Amino acid sequence: MGKATGFLEYERKTIPDRLPIERVKDWKEIHQDFEEEKVRKQGARCMDCGTPYCHTGMTISNMASGCPINNLIPEWNDLVYQNKWKDALERLHKTNNFPEFTGRVCPAPCEGSCVLGVIEPPVAIKSIECSIIDKGFSEGWVKPNPPQSRSGKKVAIVGSGPAGLAAADQLNKAGHSITVYERADRIGGLLVYGIPNMKLDKTIVQRRIDLMSEEGIDFVVSTEIGKDIPARKLVDDFDSVVLCCGATKPRDLPIEGRDLNGVHFAMEFLTKNTQGLLELKDITAFETAAKGKDAVVIGGGDTGTDCVGTSLRHGCNSITQLEIMPRPPHERASDNPWPEWPRVYKMDYGQEEAKELFGSDPRKYLTATKKFIGDDKGNLKSILIYDIEWKLIDGRFAPIEIPKSEREIPAQVAFLAMGFVGPEDLIAEEIGLDRDSRSNVQADYGKFSTNIEGVFAAGDMRRGQSLVVWAINEGRAAARECDRFLMGESSLP
């Protein structure tokens, strides 16, 4: 453990953020440096709790509880407290291929199930994790470590998001020759184009990609499997294929006015924004830019928050975020006990910035959209919304419109951030992959094998939209099963 009385002596502190009024002026990461001594004190708060739920990695009430990749959290907390940073980095890398990603973008289900969190604010696990890997890179401890020998087996990975990268990293460690195919112009999948730079600087992603390249992994960009190269050719030319294409079909809102100019899927907005930033273009010139406009984000979650933060940096005139669910309580409700993920009210970085600029949280709860209203040129000018309440109908809760609650709000741009409904069909249809009832590729968790011999599926493509840390979990596990298929056994963790 850390210090026996640490949780009594030290208050919870996390990596500090730059002031909202300052950070909205640029696209740099919102975080500031966290002094080492302060990080050590946070490690000291970790208790000798007997059964550490922080790294259990369970699913309770359809939510992650504890770390899905079973990070050895109490161990590296203690090592940080003892000032043994290099040892802490070694323990961290045993379970997590990319702690610099999870340390920045993971919602930290580990903290939601921290035993200390039952009575006090939980240990700042995510901040400690991020501090360990950042120190590891700054000290030069993270170096290329290519395998000593090659197996002679070739594996194709389709998709370079967190699942694909984790699978590639693990299979490369096993000595196989790995080729990763990505249809975008850069490696990283949603890590590059789905998460804005202020949350995850793209130099952080590229640093890891460069390291993996030096370890012998081949990356092929701007190549869409099923179009530029037939999926069948990969099956024929490689000893195995691991599909990690994500769940990239966005959930639409098919209401009147959906085809108006100014109504966009969230990922279109976020992708074009990052492309502009990386290519050093004037990002406020995009047709989806929110500069000087009343912007409305439909949907919550991380993607909705990212649209809020991006719109603010464009210089929107106003920002509104519509949430169909009720506002969460400030403390755990009786039906949301520890160690479940705490469904409590909080403001993420985007909402904090909106409150600073416009005076209030931009979210409007229990609110639904009825109609997009356009001008005589086909451009969005406003949105008709209404209030709802949830009622039990035929055994299921459903949103019911509250009479006379309709109202119109100004909007010249709207972003649909209502999640995703499954993977795209191209590859699955070409090679005849079985699908489940939600259109995901059918492959049992723990085995990851599809109905096509030698073809495996992992990440959101298999489980549906989920967390980066779950994608890493699946990529690692699918790599182990792929290695077993190729070699008859596997020593991968």
Separation between Cα atoms, residue 152 and residue 143, nearest integer Å: 24
The pLDDT value recorded for residue 279 is: 84
The pLDDT value recorded for residue 50 is: 84
Closest of 93, 152, 170 to residue 492, by C-alpha: 170
The pLDDT value recorded for residue 255 is: 98
The pLDDT value recorded for residue 28 is: 95
Closest of 144, 83, 174 to residue 481, by C-alpha: 174
Rounded to 10°, the helix 349-358/301-314 angle is 40
Question: Between the CA of residue 490 and those of 92, 173, 477, what are the distances in Å?
Answer: 21, 11, 11
The pLDDT value recorded for residue 289 is: 82
Separation between Cα atoms, residue 268 and residue 223, nearest integer Å: 19
Tell me the pLDDT band of 349, cut-offs 50, 70 and 90.
Answer: very high
Q: Which residues contact 286 (CB under 8 A, 6 or more apart)?
A: 272, 273, 276
Q: Domains in the chain, please, with CATH?
A: 6-138 (1.10.1060.10), 154-248+421-487 (3.50.50.60), 252-418 (3.50.50.60)
- Could you tell me which residue, 62 or 85, shows the higher pLDDT? 85
Separation between Cα atoms, residue 134 and residue 136, nearest integer Å: 5
Judge whether 493 and 480 are in contact, CB under 8 Å.
Answer: yes
Amino acid in position 90: E
Length of the chain: 493
452 has pLDDT over 90: yes
Separation between Cα atoms, residue 78 and residue 52, nearest integer Å: 13
Judge whether 485 and 163 are in contact, CB under 8 Å.
Answer: no
422 has pLDDT over 60: yes
Residue range 262-309, pLDDT digits in tens: 999 999 999 999 998 888 765 555 545 899 999 999 999 999 999 999
Judge whether 471 and 161 are in contact, CB under 8 Å.
Answer: yes
Amino acid in position 451: N
Q: SS3 for 373? A: strand
Residue range 40-66, pLDDT digits in tens: 999 999 987 888 999 888 889 888 899
The pLDDT value recorded for residue 405 is: 98
Mean per-residue pLDDT, 353-362: 97
Q: What's the predicted TM-score (pTM) here?
A: 0.95
| Residue 237 phi, psi dihedral angles, 5° rounding | -90, -20
The pLDDT value recorded for residue 48 is: 79
The pLDDT value recorded for residue 183 is: 97
* Distance of alpha carbon 455 from the chain centroid: 25
Closest of 328, 332, 350 to residue 341, by C-alpha: 332
The two tokens of residue 50 are 């007997």
Separation between Cα atoms, residue 312 and residue 320, nearest integer Å: 11
